Amino acid sequence: MPTLEIRDLFVALAATPDKPIVKGLNLTIRTGEVHAIMGPNGTGKSTLSKAIAGHPDYVITSGDVLLGGKSILEMEADERARAGLFLAFQYPSEIPGVSIANFLRAAVQARLAEGEEIDATAYYKRLYSKMDLLKIDRKFTSRSVNEGFSGGEKKRCEILQMAMLEPTFSLMDETDSGLDIDALRIVAEGVNLMRGEKLGVLLITHYQRLLDYIVPDFVHVMYDGRIVKSGDKTLALELEAKGYDWVKQELALSASAAVATA
């Protein structure tokens, strides 16, 4: 069963490599599992997902990320994507003049072997079936990627791409941000439809409410660049009830306890 392993990862902005944002994070995700990382703003959640995907603004200063046992750190962003990594962006880019159909077609084509041509009929058939599944109007495909989209449309477009590209691991960065409850439900249904043995999911979120719709197998609390607490879905509820200050206090307590025992 493939795994995505994050080992003692340190990440900084490329401009300020001596100021780590992610500070020694460890996490292993297997396909079939849904993990959620929760944490207060500015704790490094988005940095983590962008660094794993290979965003040029970030630099991994130490540690490793392994996909199916192989390090991906030497790979370009597009190679990582073709290796099975999908990032659902918090703020998806607009690509004027490039229709969703053409964009996805280019992305699917990029995954074929050299010299192999995409079967256009089969492609459209599959695209439309995925759209039906996600309850997306077919007119959608002729619109330019994300251009002039509402927040909800952008997120649905991300889910559609995920459905078409069939990644092994999907990193979903604040997929719930900016969505009203209806849009959130639609997005969550999409993810739930794709859940299964072939897909591992890492949900990054600030709020618990997304986890009402996509129920995670594991919940991790991230604070100051690392995972400080892990548990099952009840941890998310506890967090919701007690707030992030509770985590901070617990951390402070255990730190002073550590000092006391030392």
Partner 1 sequence: MQPPTDTLAPPDLNFDSEVGDSASTVENPTVGIDQSVGDFTYDVKYAFDAGSGLNEGVIRYISDVKKEASWILDFRLKAYQTFLEKPMPTHWATKDLENIDFNKIRYYLSQGQKPKRTWDEVPDDIKRTFERLGIPEQERKFLAGVEAQFDSEAAYSNVKDIVAKQGVIFCNSTEALREHPEIFRKWFGKVIPTGDNKFSALNSAVFSGGSFIYVPKGVKVAMPLQAYFRINAENFGQFERTLIIADEGAEVTYMEGCTAPKFSTSTLHSAVVELVALKGAKIQYITVQNWAPNVFNLVTKRAIAMEDAEVKWIDCNIGSRLTMKYPGVILKGKRARGEVISIALANDGQHQDTGAKMIHAADDTTSVIVAKSISVGQGRSTYRGVVHIPKHLKGCKNNTECDALLINTNSRTDTYPAIVVRGDTHAVQHEASVSKVSEDMIFYMQQRGLTEAQAMSLAVNGFVNDLVRQFPMEYSVELKRLIDLEMEGSVG
Provide the binding-site residues for partner 1, judged by CB under 8 A: 53-56, 76-78, 80-82, 86-87, 89, 92-98, 102-104, 106-107, 110-111, 144, 161, 165
CB of 239 to partner 1, least distance (A): 29
CB of 121 to partner 1, least distance (A): 18
188-218: burial string, b at 16+ Cβ within 10 Å, e else? bbbbeebbeeebbbbbbbbebebbbbbebbb
Q: Could you tell me where the DSSP H helices lie in the chain?
A: 45-53, 77-82, 100-110, 120-133, 151-165, 181-194, 210-213, 233-242, 244-261
CB of 30 to partner 1, least distance (A): 22
HSE (side-chain half, CA atoms, 13 Å) at 69: 2
- Tokens representing 87 are 């990032």
Which residue, 51 or 235, has its beta carbon nearer to partner 1?
A: 51
CB of 87 to partner 1, least distance (A): 5
CA distance readout (Å), 94 to 51, 151, 158, 167, 196: 21, 12, 12, 22, 30
Which residue, 149 or 223, has its beta carbon nearer to partner 1?
A: 149
CB of 215 to partner 1, least distance (A): 26
Which residue, 49 or 208, has its beta carbon nearer to partner 1?
A: 49
CB of 146 to partner 1, least distance (A): 9
Which residue, 142 or 230, has its beta carbon nearer to partner 1?
A: 142
237, with CB counted inside 10 A (0-12, 13-18, 19+), is middle
Tell how far CA 74 is from the center of its chain.
Answer: 20
Residue with tokens 């900016």: 178
Which residue, 107 or 251, has its beta carbon nearer to partner 1?
A: 107
Which residue, 154 or 220, has its beta carbon nearer to partner 1?
A: 154
